[in-house]
Structure 1
């Protein structure tokens, strides 16, 4: 499971200090628990002989000390182990977010959205239990077994070996048996679950055929047999769990029975020695807590294995970037020179020989059917993607040479802006962390949100819900636009920012966008022609190539297809 792991193993080294302390504290917890029972057993036997209090004073003190030490060590161990686990999973989440942020286009191309959400919501959180339910209990139980064997070996090494065999059965043999059985059962249940989905889907989609053929009973049989097999397999897993726990208790019962026999043979030669019988027999009972969860934790390893495989399948994509240059003080031209792009050698060519020039201050609208590569073109301009051939250049220099300063060059307004659960001011200030409250108010006023902010009791300090809930779609876009104003990036990329808005709100937002971005270079991806009068040029992207390139007025006068599309968009046809 860990042979090629790049997610879990590195953190074992990174936080090994906390890990070692967690294990030491876990062992001390059970040492204190066993010592508490040991001194208590001796105290009970010794007190039965009616000794003077001075003869048992030390044992009383030790009993109190171990009684206090056990919960203290247990509490500190829980704090230390959870601190370690939270540090590890926090680092893993940070690593996952870094991979998703830096390699988002590649991740999206090779992984389904559901897989990514599963990684974020389940797999990393699931790995917390790998340590808390499996690794820590198993290692602690192993160390406790070694300590117990060495202590018994001080008195009788032959009997210590017998106890060691029983402990190995508890810590190694039964957990390994449980792991093998659970792994086989989980694989079988995964296959049955897939079969149940397929069978139910096929049966429902073909329902009319079943009814026409009057085969209702066959339909019920087909639709339910996989589900019934899955339910039977899960019931079998539960019965196995009960059986495993029963044999664990049987093996554990052999420990006090063995100690009872051994102490009666070894410690009953005199009244003084007999006082130790209860001490040795009682000491084993607290150890049941150390061994009890090992088999259950180890049996969950197949599930952790799937989570680790999911994470390792999401490896960072290493990109070779040129030497990074300082951000240019002015940008006179953005040019795409004979750009070709395909995601890999086996995929189709998505962009084929794109040549496009945006002079400083130009406003260009890029239209085209869905799936034609418009968003991919934006990703190439930003430098998220590297052209298969050709170049995206700023002032003649490859855009990839400016990736460290990209936020100073490009601003992006897409369909759903990133708005966070913090104040309005903080959301807008993301465009410029040094912006003053007055500058934020000026930006909000420029995007026509001044009156709205003035009506709010806390003004720009009004808290926002996650994703901007509580604000309309148009207001969310205007907040993001205010952020772009503070960012002062010379090139703004608009990725269909008006999708989902009603026509009136859309028109008002378009007018605001081009009013506040009058001095910026704008490339606007849009799915229709509303507001196209605000741009200098219109370009259509079809089959990976640019078509119908010209000003809106020239295209309307000279291109019949453009006039047809314009009429359709305006509802005139």
Structure 2
């Protein structure tokens, strides 16, 4: 149990929920104890009843009380077990519900920071596995361990009441099962469990990365290498699992052997203690049978404890999420958009020596259209993060109506709409996907938005119209159609500032031109910031800014730049095939 107390010393994810639901936890432990107490009491009473009935009492009333107790304990055991299972799962589901909500909120709050500190597969591993691990911490470790210890103390004290020397012997013998075996399990098997989880987590991250780049694997003809890369961690896990099962078999055999020895010793002790006369002899079978129901909780303690290193790792991982949680400044709201302004903005990523954005200034008024051009790695995407508030400038300010954008994050969805290279469509209906832009929109509003982006005919030809499933990631539709559905979503959102982050990068030239014409037509009254690599559709904008090495290299209207800037003119003619 190395590091047990250190794990919870600064924990602010698990312990607060234990304290919040402590009364329900006490009830769970009480019901769990009573389940096995009734089982032991039933066997104890049955042993006495069988022995007593074998002496042929002259009157049934002489064994009537044991008969009634047998019925009571027989009914009590399943009743307590059912209540314990119901209560324990209710307790765990309450905690896990709060835990999931807090975890997803933590991820949502620091989405940008997480992407910088965690790989995609690692984030998925936290969301998919760590919650389940902490749920199992309660169900498979905490509950069995506490209940097992309570029963252990009850058995030892009960036997010690009759004979303290034999009670001490049982303390040592059963202590091997409830103390030594769990410690041995966590030392030997726990290490393997932890290694298996580490390999599994690495495999999760590796597989996610590989799947995200699956097209490149196939194009390069490395299909077999892709499969071999996935086989290696699977073989490692299988080897660890075999060693795990081998150890468990021997451990369980040892537990059963020691438990059997304890039962034999109890029968021997009872035979010495309760055979002075016929009446006392009836208790020999009672003591001999009473211990059997405790084998289940005693043997479960070792397996539960052996999984502690996995649970410990999960607890540390979710607590580390808060280490990167950004401090959100005091929030406010603004009215109608009057001005978007970048005032001498500079930005450097932590640990980097070079400034990605170097002293940029920009003013945009309602309805203006701006194109940001430049080669990859020159700061275009970083500039968008600064405008949206995902990153904070190292120097200078990004403001809306004079208010720093960092103070407007609670109003962000009402201020910014984003159409990027690969907008995501969920595996639900066309109606639901478009309505994500405004959950209060009516069906007529959705129809109008779809018509505005020129998809009404296409949707009308679908098998179920607007109730047609778009399939996972919108795979039913082409790239241009997915962009138009996302554009319809933005129309419903009705934000004053629209970010276009290279939305046509994967489209053919004809589809690209048609989409750009549609975008600038339906968003004619919006402020648009359009990031692009080339100049198709550049005549739609009011001004062009070319970024290179973090600063604006050239700027002006498309007409001015074409007339006065030879470089722009060359790029424009090249893009038009001249």
The TM-score, its normalising length taken from structure 2, stands at 0.86
| 1:263 shift after superposition | 0.8
1:89 is aligned to 2:92: no
Does the alignment pair 1:326 with 2:333?
A: yes
The separation in 1 between residues aligned to 2:235 and 2:434, in whole angstroms, is: 55
* Aligned residue number for residue 55 of structure 2: 49
* Residue in structure 1 matching 2:382, options 366, 370, 376: 376
- Say which is worse superposed, 377-386 or 184-193, in terms of deviation: 184-193
Tell me the SS of whatever aligns to 1:337. strand
| Pair 1:110 & 2:117 matched | yes
Alpha-carbon distance in structure 2 between the residues aligned to 1:19 and 1:402: 42
Which residue pairs with 1:472 in the alignment? 478
Q: Is the 8 A contact 1:103 1:316 kept in 2?
A: no
1:355 aligns with 2:323: no
Instruction: Tell me the residue number matched to 1:364.
Output: 370
- Are 1:395 and 2:378 counterparts? no
Distance 1:63-1:370 versus aligned 2 partners, 3 A rule: farther
Task: Report the alpha carbon displacement of residue 262 of structure 1 after superposing the two structures with TM.
Answer: 1.5
Change (3 A) 1:49 1:394: same
SS in 1 for 2:553: strand
Equivalent runs, 1:30-69 vs 2, <5 Å: 30-51=36-57, 52-69=59-76
Deviation of the 1:234 alpha carbon:
6.5
Worse-superposed segment, 149-158 or 101-110: 149-158
Match of 2:550 in 1: 544
Q: Does 1:134 align with 2:141?
A: yes
- 1:287 maps to 294
CA contact (8 A) 2:191 2:309 kept: no
* Selected match of 2:434 from 421, 425, 428: 428
- What secondary structure is seen at the aligned counterpart in 2 of 1:315? helix
Alignment of 1:392-541 (within 5 A): 392-456=398-462, 458-541=464-547
In the alignment, is the contact (CA less than 8 A) between 1:327 and 1:409 conserved in 2? no
Taking a change above 3 Å as real, the CA distance of residues 369 and 167 of structure 1, as seen in their structure-2 partners, is farther
Residue matched to 1:259: 266
Aligned in 2, Cα 1:461/1:344: closer, same or farther, shift over 3 Å?
same
Tell me how far apart the structure 2 counterparts of residues 387 and 529 of structure 1 sit (CA, whole Å): 29
Shift of 1:450: 1.6
Unaligned runs of 5+ in 2: 1-6, 204-230
**Residue range with higher mean Cα deviation, 446-455 or 252-261:** 446-455
Runs (5+) with no aligned partner, structure 1: 197-223
Matched residues in 1 for 2:23 and 2:201: separation? 43
Which residue of the partner structure matches residue 180 of structure 2? 173
Structural mapping, 1:271-282, within 5 Å: 271-282=278-289
Q: For residues 249-299 of structure 1, what are the alpha-carbon distances to aligned partners after superposition, in whole Å with 9 as ceiling and x for unaligned?
A: 222122211211111112112212111211111111111100112112211
Tell me whether 417-426 or 37-46 shows the greater mean CA deviation: 417-426
Instruction: Say whether the 8 Å CA contact 1:99–1:316 is kept in structure 2.
Output: no
Aligned CA distance change for structure 1 residues 440 and 23 (closer, same or farther; 3 Å): same
Residues 521-571 of structure 1 show CA distances to partners (whole Å, capped at 9, x for unaligned) of 000122332222221222222221122222223323333332343344445
Quote the offset at 1:162 in angstroms: 2.4
C-alpha deviations, 1:459-501, integer Å up to 9, x for none?
4344444433423333332222222212221111112222333
- The residue aligned with 1:143 is 150
Q: Which of 388, 391, 394 is the aligned partner of 1:385? A: 391
| Offset, 1:233 | 7.0
Distance of aligned partners of 1:31 and 1:193 in 2 relative to their CA distance in 1, 3 Å threshold: closer
Secondary structure of the structure 2 residue equivalent to 1:500: coil
Residue in 2 aligned with 1:182?
189
Task: Give the direction of change, closer, same or farther, for the CA distance of 1:527–1:521 in structure 2 (3 Å limit).
Answer: same
Q: Cα–Cα, structure 1 residues 559 and 401, in superposed 2: closer, same or farther, change >3 Å?
A: same
CA distance in 1: counterparts of 2:195 and 2:468, whole angstroms: 53
Distance 1:325 1:189 in 2: 48
Q: CA deviation at 1:424?
A: 3.0
CA distance in 1, matches of 2:21, 2:304: 22
In 2 relative to 1, CA 155–128 (structure 1 residues): closer, same or farther, beyond 3 Å? same
State the partner residue of 2:345: 339
**Contact 1:447–1:481 (CA<8 Å) still a contact in 2?**
yes
1:280-338 CA-partner distances (Å, limit 9, x unpaired)? 1111111110011211221121222222232222225454444433322x212111111
Q: Provide the C-alpha distance between the structure 2 equivalents of 1:442 and 1:225, rounded to a whole number of angstroms.
A: 53
Distance (Å, rounded) in 2 between the aligned partners of 1:465 and 1:156 = 72
Partner SS state of residue 426, structure 2: coil
Q: Per-residue deviation at 1:148?
A: 2.2
Asked whether the 8 Å contact 1:493–1:523 carries over to 2, the reply is yes
SS of the aligned residue for 1:293 comes to helix
Structure 1 range deviating more: 442-451 or 551-560: 551-560
Residue 187 of structure 1: how far off its partner (Å): 7.1
Distance 1:246 1:355, change over 3 A: same
